[in-house]
Structure 1
Amino acid sequence: MIHRYATFIKAVNLTTDYLILNISMVISYAVIDKSSYIWINNKNYLPIVLVFNLIWLLSANISGLYEQVLNKDSINTYRGVIKTYFIFVSFICFTIIILIGTKPYFVTREYLFYSLALFGFLLGLWKLIFLGIRKSNRRSLFDTRNVVIIGGGRIGYDLYQFFSNNAERGYNLIGFFDDSPERVKEKELYLGRTDECIDYVIANNVDEIFCTLPNSKADTIERLMLDADKNLIRFKFVPEYYDYAKKPTYIQSFGHIPIISVRPEPLENMLNRFLKRSFDTVFSILVIVFVFSWLFPILAVLIKLQSKGPVFFVQIRSGRDNKPFKCYKFRSMRVNDESDKKQATRDDKRITLIGAIMRRTSIDELPQFFNVLRGNMSVVGPRPHMVSHTEQYSQLIDTFMVRHFLKPGITGWAQIRGLRGETKNTEDMLARVEADVWYLENWSFLLDLKIVFLTFFGTVRGDKNAF
């Protein structure tokens, strides 16, 4: 455990922030609206309350405001608050002033100014109070526990190293128990044989036992577990399997049988998959209707004027489960024989003038929204690679094929982290693959929204790797 009250403090922060947000809105409503019409009965006002609250949730998830609330120092805390506040204000202005408009809900710009300014002031004041309380009581928030390890082999030593290198976890290692003393490297930490463990733990107020014995010692493990339960001592078992996984794993129970998955996959949940597919469909239709429809004829003419060949570039790429599919793009290069083998490079002579502009702004990817509608791509996911690259890198990178558990995307976690463009060596591709696998393991709908927003922001700002 990291902190006894970590989840509670996070919930307090989130709840208080929402109270401040809604109090600011109510006070601003009372100041601006001089009528006796109670705000809660105003049907035109309530949708704005909902919009404010949802946008704050989105902004906080984008910035990671509520992550590690007990570990961030005051500077990082305020940096996160300011970042979240400006994202929030930007979204509010864009949503209410530009998309919705103020007239339908009788919301004035004066009200927006007062409510946002008051919220910003009260939020900053609350965070100052929170930091003061946290500083005076921080020590009491840590849950330090005395523990022992049964088994002095490599697994036990790895666990000892983890405790030593992660003091903030709150585990104070007393020592080891093992039937072979020579297996314990730190001789001063050797406490005795395994059958002496329970008596020692009871006599010395030890809170938890970590057992790293191999499965061949099943009888010993079972006896120790039962004795620990009888004496109200928490017993934790480290499976030998841990050797095969270098990251957190996901455990399910099939009846009484524990099943350890190599990685969590949120998109294996049908509800999550439906949510993602619904977003893909709606978002793609909006882009095709409001952007592609008028931009297509302009780009078609410019592409034709620049060089001979089709307007669209169609290439076979690797999709979900490594199934090939036809990926569509606006043609940004002169027709050549290397397009299925050679990546685009900086100052590539094959790229036309209009092609360079399209690639720099990622406009050449717009036709892929038709791929999304057809169901062989998603708005967010790992970028699809040429089949030849899939064959090449699957032999060089062990986890390369894992990215194909997902549908490929128009944008992705790797892209917003700058891992796009030409892969000059295996290390570049490895970094991209690691980002794609992280996305597979940590998917959420809010993460997709964050990636879409940052992609749009990055396109406007410009990306040095887009060429």
Structure 2
Amino acid sequence: MSHRYLTFIKAINLTFDHISLNVAMVLAYYFEGKENTFFIENINYLPIVLVFNFTWLLSANLTGLYEQVLNKDSIRTYRNVFKTYVIFICIICFIVIIVGPKTYFITRSYLLYSSVSFSVLLATWKLIFLAIRKSDRARLYDSRNVVIVGSGRIGVDLQHYFENNSGLGYNLVGFFDDNPDNITNKRMYLGSTKESISYVLNNRVDEIFCALPVSEKSKIEQLMSDADKNLIRFRFVPEYYDYGIKPVLIQSFGNIPVISVRPEPLENMLNRFIKRVFDILFALFVIVFFFSWLFPILAILIRLESKGPIFFTQERSGRDNDPFMCYKFRSMKVNDDSDKRQATRDDKRITKIGAFIRRTSIDELPQFFNVIIGNMSVVGPRPHMISHTEQYSELIDSFMIRQFLKPGITGWAQVKGLRGETKTTEAMLKRVEADVWYLENWSFLLDMKIIFLTVWNSAKGDENAF
């Protein structure tokens, strides 16, 4: 648990940022001299409003603008705001160039007025927020005095967590334990477990964290009962984390608590539906506006340089480890090792046009048909050759976890630089860890961030793309 107001403060920041943006857009509308038509009644501007607001949300997610809003000093706050603002303007300008300024009646003057107005309003709002935060920081931090009952390894781990995360607002007063010898720092010893309730009532302590082992069942039940009677918040720290389980999702089957080994946001049907709809729409956009005209050009170049098919198809490991045929533009000369050996730097099998399309990731474009079919997603773990799946699943315990998801054209591992040839098991382990992190932390905005970084990396060039 973090301080109670953190989520609320994030929401306030997000809300007022969007209010500043939309006020700036209205001001720009009237600065342009369109006062004869009320802003809301002009349907031509509805897409502009939606695009601007969504782009700001995406930009803020890319920079982590709303993270640690209570901890960042003024300089870091404004630096982060400026970085977000620059990314926002760049994306808007890119969108205008792609779709054309006349499509939604966006003029240069409108862009200028809205961007300048937004920068002024945004800077003013952040100044007001920082002033409020400075004047009432103590209340915002919501500092709480807590005690820990039980000084075993769980209790000590909890103590270290509080010490290393002071921003959470927990002030550890001390320990209660029936064996004082368990506590190294004697100044932290406050008494036996039976004395904890009376101490809390008489010393302005807000919460009790119980770190007793389950073998002390009777003591735990008594403490819980006494805390409830005296209106004291009681929190029990289970021993399950000793087994490497992160209890982030607890379901109740009747009165039986069931703890999931890891969170899987895409097990939620609504999240899966959102991801699938986006996959189809995005894939259709790429196929219509990019693949349609690139295909004949690349087909001619590929066939002119070397004999063989235009497309390279290979069986890859899919979701639930079900194999599927993965499509790519052929970037190598036809060879017998394609199902066994990875591409390496300066690989003689790669053609000249193949080197270009691999470096820019254009060779992956046919996989958008895999997305339409449904055996791939736009974002997800990269699909491996069947032989590599069999090899690394024996060497890395967590390797098969990545197969819970549909493979993707791009993924978190790729934008973190973990792509290309994997020469060692350690290199593959880092890629797997990134894929598992994505599985546990999926969100729609995370997918948007990965897509943006993929395009950015392709434009500037990736040294691991060969």
TM-score of the aligned structures, taking structure 2 as reference length: 0.94
Structure 1 residues 2 and 269: alpha-carbon distance in aligned structure 2, compared to 1, 3 A threshold = closer
Aligned CA distance change for structure 1 residues 35 and 266 (closer, same or farther; 3 Å): closer
Change (3 A) 1:380 1:195: same
Task: Rate the CA distance shift 1:36–1:318 in 2: closer, same or farther, 3 A.
Answer: closer
- Tell me the equivalent position of 1:167: 166
Q: Secondary structure at the match of 1:44?
A: helix
- Provide the residue aligned with 2:71 in structure 1: 71
Whether the aligned pair in 1 keeps the contact of 2:319 and 2:406 (CA below 8 Å) is yes
Q: In 2 relative to 1, CA 48–298 (structure 1 residues): closer, same or farther, beyond 3 Å?
A: closer
Residue 428 of structure 1 corresponds to 427
Aligned length: 466
Q: Residue 270 of structure 2 aligns with which residue? A: 271
After TM superposition, the structure 1 = structure 2 runs for residues 4-15 of structure 1, keeping only pairs within 5 Å, are 4-15=4-15
Whether the 8 Å contact between 2:177 and 2:193 is mirrored in structure 1 is yes
Give 1:305 shift: 2.4
1:25 maps to 25
Q: Distance in 2 between matches of 1:34 and 1:272?
A: 40
Distance 1:272 1:154 in 2: 38
For 1:59, the aligned partner's letter is S
Please say which of residues 69-78 and 324-333 is displaced more in the overlay. 69-78
- Could you say what secondary structure the match of 2:43 adopts? coil
| Secondary structure at the counterpart of residue 395 of structure 1 | helix
Instruction: Supply the AA of the counterpart residue of 2:149.
Output: I
Residue equivalent to 2:371? 372
- Equivalence for 2:49: 49
SS for the counterpart of 2:280 is helix
Provide the C-alpha distance between the structure 1 equivalents of 2:269 and 2:57, rounded to a whole number of angstroms: 24
Amino acid at match of 1:236: R
Alignment correspondent of 1:464: 463
Alignment partners' CA distance in 1, 2:36 and 2:370: 54
How big is each residue's C-alpha offset from its partner over 1:55-114, in whole Å with a ceiling of 9 and x where there is no partner? Answer: 322322233221221122223322221222122223333334541633x65543212211
| Aligned residue type for 2:78 | Y
Distance 1:35 1:327, change over 3 A: closer
Would the aligned equivalents of 1:2 and 1:142 in 2 still touch at CA under 8 Å? no
* 2:373 is equivalent to residue 363 of structure 1: no
Q: 1:273-312 to 2 correspondence within 5 Å?
A: 273-312=272-311
Q: Which residue in the other structure is 1:93 paired with?
A: 93
* Deviation of the 1:333 alpha carbon: 1.5
- 1:281-430 mapped onto 2 (5 Å cutoff): 281-430=280-429
The aligned residue for residue 181 of structure 1 is 180
Contact persistence 2:241–2:247 (CA under 8 A):
no
Residue 357 of structure 1 deviates from its aligned partner by: 0.7
Q: Distance in 2 between matches of 1:372 and 1:45?
A: 32
State the secondary structure of the residue aligned to 1:121.
Answer: helix
The 2-side partners of 1:61 and 1:165 are apart by: 25
Matches of 1:230 and 1:461, distance apart in 2? 63
Whether the aligned pair in 2 keeps the contact of 1:2 and 1:143 (CA below 8 Å) is no
Question: Shift of residue 168 of structure 1?
Answer: 2.0
Where has structure 1 moved over 6 Å in runs of 4 or more?
none
Match of 1:84 in 2: 84
Tell me whether 410-419 or 292-301 shows the greater mean CA deviation: 292-301
**Partner deviation per Cα, 1:309-340 (whole Å, 9 max, x = no partner):** 22222222111111111111112112223222
The 1:35–1:317 alpha-carbon spacing in structure 2 relative to 1, beyond 3 Å, is closer
Q: Does 61-70 or 244-253 show the bigger shift?
A: 244-253
Following TM superposition, by how much is the alpha carbon of 1:306 offset from its aligned partner in structure 2, in angstroms? 2.1
1:235 paired residue number = 234
Find the residue that maps to 1:66 and give its secondary structure.
Answer: coil
Task: Name 1:38's counterpart in structure 2.
Answer: 38
Deviation at 1:49, TM superposition (A): 2.8
Summarize the Cα distance change of 1:38–1:370 in structure 2 as closer, same or farther, 3 Å threshold: closer
Distance 1:310 1:37, change over 3 A: closer
Q: Secondary structure at the match of 1:332?
A: coil
Matched residues in 1 for 2:299 and 2:52: separation?
41
- Separation (CA, whole Å) in 2 of partners of 1:312 and 1:34: 52
Secondary structure of residue in 1 paired with 2:395? coil
Deviation track 1:33-67 (CA, whole Å, cap 9, x = no partner) reads 16444333333334433332233223222332212
Structure 1 window deviating more from structure 2 (207-216 vs 91-100): it is 91-100
CA apart distance, 1:415: 0.8
> What letter corresponds to residue 79 of structure 1 in structure 2?
R
Structure 1 residue 248 displacement after superposition: 5.8
- The verdict on how the C-alpha distance between 1:50 and 1:283 changes in structure 2, with shifts beyond 3 A counting, is closer
The question of whether the paired residues in 2 share the 8 Å contact of 1:403 and 1:437 is answered with: yes
CA distance in 2, matches of 1:98, 1:325: 34
1:152·1:177 contact (CA, 8 Å) conserved in 2? yes
1:61 aligned residue: 61
1:198-230 CA distance string (max 9 Å, x none): 122222222111111122222221111010011
Q: Deviations over 1:233-275 (max 9, x none)?
A: 1111011111122656222223332221111111111111111
Deviation larger for 444-453 or 34-43: 34-43
Q: Which amino acid aligns with 1:55?
A: T
Task: Tell me if the contact between 2:101 and 2:107 (Cα under 8 Å) persists in the aligned partners.
Answer: no
Does residue 1:250 correspond to 2:249, yes or no? yes
Cα distance, 1:338–1:40 mapped onto 2, change above 3 Å: closer
What is residue 203 of structure 2 aligned with on the other side?
204
1:154 paired to 2:150: no
Q: Please give the alpha-carbon distance, in whole angstroms, between the structure 1 residues aligned to 2:104 and 2:464.
A: 43
| Distance in 1 between residues matched to 2:37 and 2:463, nearest whole Å | 54
Percentage identity across paired residues of the two chains: 70
Could you say what secondary structure the match of 2:259 adopts?
Answer: strand
Q: Output the amino acid matched with 1:127.
A: K
SS at match of 2:147: strand
2: CA distance between counterparts of 1:362 and 1:107?
Answer: 32
Q: 1:18 to 1:217 in 2, by over 3 A?
A: same
Contact 2:71 2:167 in 1 (8 A): no
Deviation at 1:165, TM superposition (A): 2.1
Which SS does the other structure have where 2:419 is aligned?
Answer: coil
The superposition leaves residues 149-198 of structure 1 with CA deviations (integer Å, 9 ceiling, x where unpaired) of 11121111111221222222222222222222333333332222222221
What is the distance in 2 between the residues matched to 1:105 and 1:355?
38
- Aligned with 2:136: secondary structure? helix
